Amino acid sequence: MSSHRHCVCWLVSILVATLAGCGPQQVAPDAPPPSTVPASPAGAFAIASWFDVRVPPAAGPVLATLTAATDGPDDPSRYLVDRMIATLPDGR
């Protein structure tokens, strides 16, 4: 009898698990609309920004020198060469 009782318990538990898993699906009420944010970072993007800082008058010449040293595609090497040439005496 023990074997028969074990088999019945096993069948009842499978039946209960099957019926519990076949219940109706729960639908989320008032679900938000799908996101419009891209899921992939691939693509072309353009960003424009600026940063405005008020500079004290004493810092103006220093910042002008830094700007001159970094404003070209071949700077700061071009800036340094130009400064070295400017310190050379006039040739004859």
Q: Which amino acid is at 83?
A: R
Which residue bears the tokens 């970094």? 70
Those residues with Cβ within 8 angstroms of residue 69's Cβ, 6 or more apart along the chain or in another chain: 75, 76, 79, 80
- Angstrom CA distances, 57 to 14, 47, 67, stand at 84, 31, 16
Tens digits of per-residue pLDDT, 41-77?
Answer: 888 888 899 888 888 999 989 988 888 888 888 888 8
* 7 has pLDDT over 70: yes
27: left (phi over 0), alpha (psi -120 to 50) or beta: beta
Q: How far apart are alpha carbons 7 and 13 in whole angstroms?
A: 10
Report the predicted TM-score, pTM, of the whole model to 2 decimal places: 0.34
